Amino acid sequence: MERYFYSFSSIYFCGGNCMEDAKTILANQFGSNPIFNLCSPDTLLRRMGDLCTDQLLCNTKRGNVEHQYNINQTMTDMNIKLLKKLGEFNKDEVVLDYDNTIIFTEKKGVK
């Protein structure tokens, strides 16, 4: 999982703007590096598809609006693992908090 994340983030950190830039931009910089294994754009897209989760629906008490959201445990675990590597959990106290607020608007079609 890590190598997919590193390959994906390296595309944008090295001046790319789409998945296909994985080979065109990064091959010059990392192509001959024995430590960094660069995967193809198709592999990155396939793995990202594997990370998708089903949308959950929530109806508000006020109005007649259906909101979409999802809970992606794999991405949550990956983010926590990354934060541990960055040393963010080496502190005395860590608060992991997620709040979701539904804001009512006058616009139609806002989800």
Beta strand spans in 1-111 (E): 56-59, 66-69
pLDDT higher than 70, residue 82: yes
**Cα distances (angstroms) measured from residue 100 to each of 10, 17, 35, 67, 69:** 30, 29, 40, 11, 10
Residue ranges of the domains in the chain?
1-52, 53-91
pLDDT higher than 60, residue 67: yes
What would the two tokens of residue 72 be?
Answer: 């992606």
pLDDT higher than 60, residue 36: yes
Determine if the pTM surpasses 0.75. no
Banded model confidence at residue 48, pLDDT cuts 50, 70, 90? confident
**pLDDT (0 to 100) of residue 109:** 63
Across residues 58-80, what is the average pLDDT? Answer: 82
